[in-house]
């Protein structure tokens, strides 16, 4: 299987709940899927690559769909008052990393 993982918001090398990842991959049928690992602090979710998830015809479409999911979840919890479960530092750093990725993506498309 061809797969790639991208990490967002790594606040510390030794801490497990302080970053988010997006894994995109394809099987022998050349269909792409994504598997997000989302952490808000103490709350989060994770899903591996699976053919039960939505299928995409390109890696970029799968990756963009995963970014929309990750960004939406973060934006939904920016002002959450439960700061124990929804660590605002992690949420804001993730949103900042997503914006950096999008800017770099646009800059690369100009060449």
Q: Rg (Cα) of the chain, in Å, rounded? A: 15
Q: What global pTM score does this model have?
A: 0.86
Please provide the size of the chain in residues. 111
Going residue by residue through the chain (111 aa), what tens digit of pLDDT does each one get?
A: 789 999 988 776 666 667 899 999 998 889 999 999 999 988 999 998 988 889 999 999 999 999 999 999 999 999 999 988 999 999 999 999 999 988 887 776 666
Burial 68-103 (b: 16+ CB within 10 A, else e): eebbebbeebeeeeeeeebbeebbebbbebbeeeee
């Amino acid at each position: 299987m061809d797969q790639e993982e991208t990490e967002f918001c790594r606040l510390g090398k030794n801490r497990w709940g302080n970053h988010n990842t997006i894994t995109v991959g394809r099987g022998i049928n050349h269909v792409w899927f994504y598997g997000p690992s989302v952490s808000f602090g103490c709350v989060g979710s994770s899903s591996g690559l699976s053919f039960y998830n939505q299928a995409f015809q390109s890696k970029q479409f799968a990756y963009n769909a995963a970014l929309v999911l990750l960004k939406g979840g973060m934006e939904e919890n920016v002002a959450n008052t439960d700061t124990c479960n929804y660590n605002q530092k992690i949420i804001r750093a993730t949103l900042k990393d997503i914006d950096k990725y999008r800017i770099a993506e646009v800059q690369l498309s100009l060449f």
